[in-house]
Structure 1
Amino acid sequence: YRRGDYDAAIKLLQQSIGTHSAMEQSAYLFLGQAYLKRGDNNSALMAFENAYRVDYDREVRETAFYNYAVARMDGGRVPFGNSVALLENFLQEYPNSTYSADVQRYIVNGYMSDNDYESALAALDKIPNPSAELIQAKQRVLLVLGSREYTSGKISQAISHLTQARRLASDNPSIRRQCDLWLGDCYYTRGNYDEAASSYRSFIASAPKSDTRNRAIAYYDLGYTRFCQERYSDALTDFRDAVTVMQSAPADISRSLLADCYNRIADCHYYQTDFTSAAEAYNKAYDLNPSSGDYALYQLAIMKGLRKDHAGKIESIDALSERFPSSGLIPNALLEKAESQSALGQTDQAIATYRHLVQQYPNTAPGRNGYLQLAITYINRGERSQGIETYKKVIYTFPSSEEARIAADDLKQLYAADGRLQDFVAFINSVPNAPRYEASELEKLAFQAAENDYVNSGATSKLSAYIAEYPQGADRAQALYYLADAAWNEGKPAEAQGYAMQVIQTHPDSEVAEDAMLIKAAAESSLGKTEIAYSTYQQLESRASGSNMLREARIGLMRTAADLGKYAEVVNTADKLLASTAANSPADLNEIRFMRGMANNSLGNYDKAYEDWSELAENPADIFGAKSAYYMGNSQLDRGLVKGAKSTAEKLIDSDTPHQYWLARGFILYSDILRKEGKKFEADEYLKSLKSNYPGTEADIFQMIDSRL
């Protein structure tokens, strides 16, 4: 060591570890210093920590601690090393140390290095006259706390901390701007749109022109804020400003974000009844992101119809059906197509479209509506008997649906016109669960009281009483659904499943049947009935009436397929979800891509898996980003790609991820990589340090550590 041969010194010093003596303590101190000389701060940290934790020689202990603090503040990492606790212990044990002044300065930085911003804030609040440096540290602590609280849904706390940070940062434009952007998101999430708009405008007013990405996002978010306020003219201006900024630096902006801007620009024109401008914007949105352009193509068709261009509308819907056959917009698009065919006098083609709709999507609300429109079309062209038979089919096929009630009303008028009301009554009475016409006043009042009680306070006793007193009640399906929803929200999956099953069995075509099926599937999955849940999600996918419900069905299908090892089905379902812009949230997209990565990895499609995982791993603050980083590194190690695995693991454990379980898994993976490289001593030291410092209680973490040691 003294002549600078640190590699040789390290090999010898490692062999002198294990005696539990003053010699071992001294060896750890020299070992840490040798690692520092070699530039290996992480191994140095663990060596200094071991030298400090024993008390054979207080002078060695004091020196080891100071070296530990310096290395830690310089960015060295140790698994969940609570450097601040060591700092505070040091001040208690060595109050007169020559290092005390430096240690006091390190405490706040230590909390930040340990990712413990709550404690950092508490420590800063205790300092009576903080320096300018500490005030700047407090600004950053408050900003990070606020942003994390927003991400985890703690909006009130986020607003409080971000507001404090903004106030402190009056002379720090960068922090102040970041606070404005986060505060805008907080207020938007809470529906406080005026406050959100004020924060976004404040950011825009102070942001430098070079900050293209954040300025574009601020305009984009401001546009959504105004859109939610139905201030479409203002929203249109904001979205146009967002597009202008995005186009000035296209490399910083994804095409999907730009396409979404054009979709919203088009929506604003639509709500202002400027259908020509709306169509132009929808066209641009589609051209920018054709692989996920089902919404733009559908809306473009609607605009053509509103401008009486029915032939163009039909052409766009045919293109939608061809390019996006799995889109949740297809059933409604077929209804629109048939409407335009009727408007053009193409009655035969309209009937063919309605028949196609009811054959392909019979259990959906648009499918049932297709039956109604088919009946009306028959009646309008004089085929009365065909129309009557189609109305009857709606009633006896979907007796518990809203469409059956409408069909029955129309059918009653037809029979009355023919003087055959008794025949109508006989038909209705012959169909189980057919629409009832005169619910008693008492029954209506009982259900209204029960519904109000549930909506206002969550109480379900009146709903149960209504079900018991009126077993054939007109609102029985809705009451059962409320009971299923209440049970699910109260953490009673078996009870929720039971109520949802009753809705599906006795009122399979009611307005709440799809929602009940979703609760049933979720409850089955929660109860470990994965195969049954998978089947239920398949049924829901086949009958989902809109994009939101289709998304829920497919996400559930994807999750249960993964649990069952149906990896090809996971990839297929994920591709369907990602092929549509309708109804997917950013959180959904992250999970979908992560799941697709897992499935492709299991199928041996490693390049495709790593493509998804790499992009997600760029944001380790997101749970799927942290998981993606771990699983990609683990996969690379299993395949013998040690260099790539090490790079992936290092990025994860160097990140500021708040997900401590996956950070711990990252350290274990890193230890496995070191062991693969023949560095057994360093690999074991990582595991020992993790075992001593990990704050979690998950048994599998400690089992993995022990099995390796």
Structure 2
Amino acid sequence: MNYKGYLYTLLLCGQLPLAYQLQAQETFSIPTEQHAIEVTLAAGSPLRTTTLLSSTQRLSKADGWFATYGAHLLGRPSAAAELEEYITTDPISRQAQVARIARATHYLYNKEYNRARHTLEQVREQTLTSEMRSEWQVKMAYALLLSGRPVEQVEQLFEMTAAGDDYWSDVARLYLAQLYIAQNDLDKAERTLLPIQDQGDLQYDARLGLARIALYRQNYQSVLTHTEALATARLSEEQRAESQIIEANAWYRLEEPSKAIERLAPLSDQNASLLTPEDQLILAAAYMETERTEQAIPHLLLATRGDAETSGVANLYLARARRDMGLYSEALASYQVAADRAVAPTIREAAMYEQVLLMRSKASGSFGQEVRLCEEFLNTFSQSAHREAMEHFLIESYYRSPDYLTSLASIGRIQRPSTIIVEAQCYLLNQLTQQAQQAGDLALAQRYNQQAQQLTTKSAHHTEAELLGAQLLSQQGAYKQAAQALTAILSKRAASSKQLQIARYLLGYSQIRQQQYGAATQTLSILLQEGTLDNTLQADVHARLGDAHYMQGHYTPAVRYYEEAYRLAPDNQVYALYMLSDIEGLKKDYKAQIAALDKLVARHPNSLYKPRAMYDQGRAMELSGQQAEAIGAFTRLTQEYPQSEYGRKAALQLALLYYNRNETSRAIETYKALLAEAPQSGEAKQAYEALKSIYIEEGRSTEFVQYANSIGGSYSINESEAMSISFETAERAYQSRQPQAERLLKEYLALKPQGASSLLAHYYLADIYDRAGKEEEALALYERIYPSRKQLSQELHIGLLQKMSAMRIQQRAYAQALPLQQELLTLPLEPASYQTTLLSATESALQAGQYEWVIKVVAPQLDKAKGWSQEQLDLLTCRLATSYLKTGRGNQIESLLKPLVARIETYAGTQGTLLLAQYYVSNKIQQSYSKQLLDKLVNDAYPDPELSAETIITLSDWYLTKGDPDTARLYLESLLKNYTDETSPIRQRAAEKLAQLRQSTAR
């Protein structure tokens, strides 16, 4: 018998207690309609083997096919063929119809319900007797029911049959009663069974049905009355087993589990298949109530083979049994199955709750498994009495686990988080904020903190989130906003005293960072006065007060606060000890600083400040002139902490000391060691640049490129970079006038560079040639870069034109010099440079015969006359006068030159006086005055060989105009004798005049 309905009520009705024993006083309900159908017709019912086949006893023994039918039931192979022969010989005969019913019975026995139904549908109903029709209707209804046809159709057939008074009508009543039971109409079922409870073979089945109805009515004494009456009856084995099962259920409900065991245990021992999984569960429950847990387990295992409802209950009790026996892993597995498979919510609720309890009590299961169960429980059983406990379990898991992200995701899956869950969420976000802070990801920390502050909770965790938010603002430099947030926290009554202390401390820190040192001192002093602080915080407050005074240069109170901070928490305030040494350094008391740092290193050998202290020791030694000691200190630091920031800084300082001591090779070795130790550090990059500078300074660029490429990575140098370094090396050598500059520039140019650097290199090399007197080589290079001169800097552009024009003037190539000078005059020259250039350019123009250009540029300058010296103006006047003479405008000469006679002692005055005299002589006017001018030139003129020579030539001309060629000749002969510059144009002109004079005299 399948007691699902009974079991459901037994285990599921009402609130399931936490105790592990089955409670027998609970009520139960009638099984469902489909449930009852399965119970009665499909699960071991004796009706199937006796009632349905009882037609063999009712057929006339005179029928010729009876023996065949009986043999068929016994399994004789030829029976099927013989039955078929009866059917096919005379298909419409009564015997054929009976044969069809027999064949259908065979199919029903073998559970071939569709074939049975098909066979019964072929029966010719009109040929059947009344009793045969009843049999056919019962079996048709049975076939329809088990082949899935509507229950209404089945019930109608049974009701039609039950209206009769033959045997099969009584069979129909049995089945009809089962349908009524399924429909929860126990009264109707009882009325259907009562007429046949004393009727022949069916009375036992009827009484069993009545016993079952009494069981469903919870009338357990009535159940026992029925089963006791059946105890002496001649029941079949199946009927006897069913009676015992019903009786066992009644005894169990009457809180007599031992008697239930007495009825069920023999059946299970005899043949376990006699009991359904539900029966096995009742037996197991009885064992558990009698404290025989170990004996219950095999039956619970069998019960777990039932459908989802039964399996869920069985697994729950199996888990409890295993738990009580100390089989914790097996118990957890059973709890899991019950939680996953149970249909009844109360079973799942109990399984999940007890599973978590067991996990926690025995530290079994993973964090994820426990959290998942708690999540599912809270989402599924939101009204459970265990909800609060499960929430606390979940929160403890969150607080216990370091995987805050996973815990936060868990909270996100809870559909209706309670206040304490939200508080836990705030806690997790705070932890994630701090993790991100420590990792330096302030943007991520900010996101977590904003989420925490947005939560609708006013717990201590929320205040903690506000404190963290203020810290983040400080870290981002938003000290004003941080101070505002902290001030708001200080005004909250909900904050704890510890949180208020931290808020005030952070406020003081923010004020220090805003340079509000007075306010910071006041804030922190209040904190010291407010109440008892733990030593760590008190020491921190003193340290910050020291900082406030330190930043104002108030070193005496700063020292006092730092000393107190160190006294309060020496292990946590190495910083304060370090700051004491720093103050000594600021006071330039390097001896005291070194002593303070020695104390720090000796007392706190494992402190994070030790490398910094050792570095400061080296710097103090260096600054106090103890170079050797500094080298020793830096060397020890690089050896002890090669990977630390200060170890690397020490290496840089050590290399610089070597370099300053002209120990360049050791400096290079130290830089290279730093690059090898930490190639990606900022100090390594500084070392690389320093090395590069040294190699460039020493003209070893090729060697440096090879070294850099040996390091590889980001230090590798490509061809373009190598060329750039080669140029930089050559340029530095040129700028410092090193002898190797010429070689380095040639090496660079051999690389065939392009662009501005190439122009510069040619310029530098030309300048070197120029300084070395290699004018031709220099000019050739200048000429080479001249077409690209505008790519040079303005300074070099001007320099190039100046150098080239000077060289051309030296070569007396005035026509080539003049365009260079003219271009110079278009550039933004300094006033003095412009004046010099214009003077030189006008001279070149005169020599090149460019008189009109001279007139064009000089006349405006004479009109302005601003910023020019008198000498320069006089020279320009001479240039203009010469140009006027050469262009036939001599009428303007006298007015220009006469003022210069008064300044004859100057070069320009001499030149102007000479020009005026030459003008008079050549035009044969003012003979007497011109002689006076010439005599004045001989006696008072500026001592210049060329002007003196021109004066002699002019005197010779004057005497010729006077008709005294001899005196003229004597002047020329004297000039040629004393003027020895064979290349001078003046000497050549004098020689030509003398030759002409001699020739004319000879004629």
- Judge same fold: TM > 0.5, yes or no: no
* Superposition TM-score, scaled by structure 2 size: 0.32
Q: Which one has the largest radius of gyration?
A: 2
* Superposition TM-score, scaled by structure 1 size: 0.43
Higher RCO structure, 1 or 2 (CA under 8 Å, sep 6+):
1
